[in-house]
Amino acid sequence: MKRILITGAGSFIGTSFDKYMKQFNNEYKIETIDMKGDQWKEKDFSSYNSIFHVAGIAHADVSKVSEETKKLYYAVNCELAFETARKYKEDLNGQAGQFIYMSSIIVYGEETNINKKRVITRDTQPNPSNFYGDSKLQAENKLIPLMEEDFNVAIIRPPMIYGEGSKGNYQTLVNLALKLPAFPDIKNERSMLAIENLCSFVKEYIDKNSNGILFPQDPDYVRTSRMVKKIASEHNRKIYLFSWLNWLIYLLGFAPGKVGKLVNKAFGNLVYEK
């Protein structure tokens, strides 16, 4: 029986993974630990085959934060992850182990464009556009050197994760689907990842003792309008998709300032290469 520790009690991803793995109760023993404070440092990690580190801070309004808040992002997303992995490796004392870190597509920056398709490949170099993305990338850079023959480090860079209970950009789409009677049908493409698929991928990474940088995504790219329509349908609402004003929306994608930024964020093209 494999023993897996989820670091980050109450997190959306950690809770979802714990729930998903209950169907395999005879093969895996899942435990969760709260990483707030210093009490976690007293726990012995040596009995775990894998640690799934999901503790972190996300979904910041990067334009309205103090320097103190920025420091907190680096402390949690970077330093806490590194300290946890280093303690795990020390506790193992030569035994085999696997540390899985939840990073994000955000390490490539937030640039999306309605008028141009952006495709990220394995060769694309990270280029964070804010402190959130940089805190994730700095964590990766500190974790990878810990990898040795008996200590695997797996870095997961998922695109937008969606599903019941998720927050961030997906919650914005939910709010739109529940309020708007109509929505522009722009033919954009986005890589996304259903929470159920993420959980399945993580189980696979654990089974294979994977390491390195991993790029999970749903089999098909998603169109923003179709996602909004699907969400509305799941809430027993009908939403009308229209395309007769698409030319105006594409034009607004060139607009400077807040308008252009919002249009490109909502309808921009951003995908992982399949």
pLDDT digits (tens, 9 = 90+) for 178-191: 899 999 999 999 99
Report if pTM > 0.85. yes
Strand partners, 4: 30, 50
134 sits in which H/E element: helix 131-143
pLDDT in tens, 153-164: 999 999 999 988
The pLDDT > 90 percentage for the chain reads 74
Q: 191 with 218: CB under 8 angstroms?
A: yes
Q: How confident is the model at residue 215 (pLDDT cuts 50, 70, 90)?
A: very high
Question: How far lies 189's CA from each of 54, 56, 172, 186, in Å?
Answer: 27, 28, 17, 9
Per-residue pLDDT, 257: 84
Q: How far apart are CA 263 and CA 250, in angstroms?
A: 8
For the segment 50-59, what is each residue's pLDDT rounded down to a tens digit? 999 999 887 6
User: 91 is written with which tokens?
Assistant: 């506790």
Amino acid symbol at 102:
M
The separation between the first and the last C-alpha atoms of the chain, rounded to the nearest angstrom, is 33
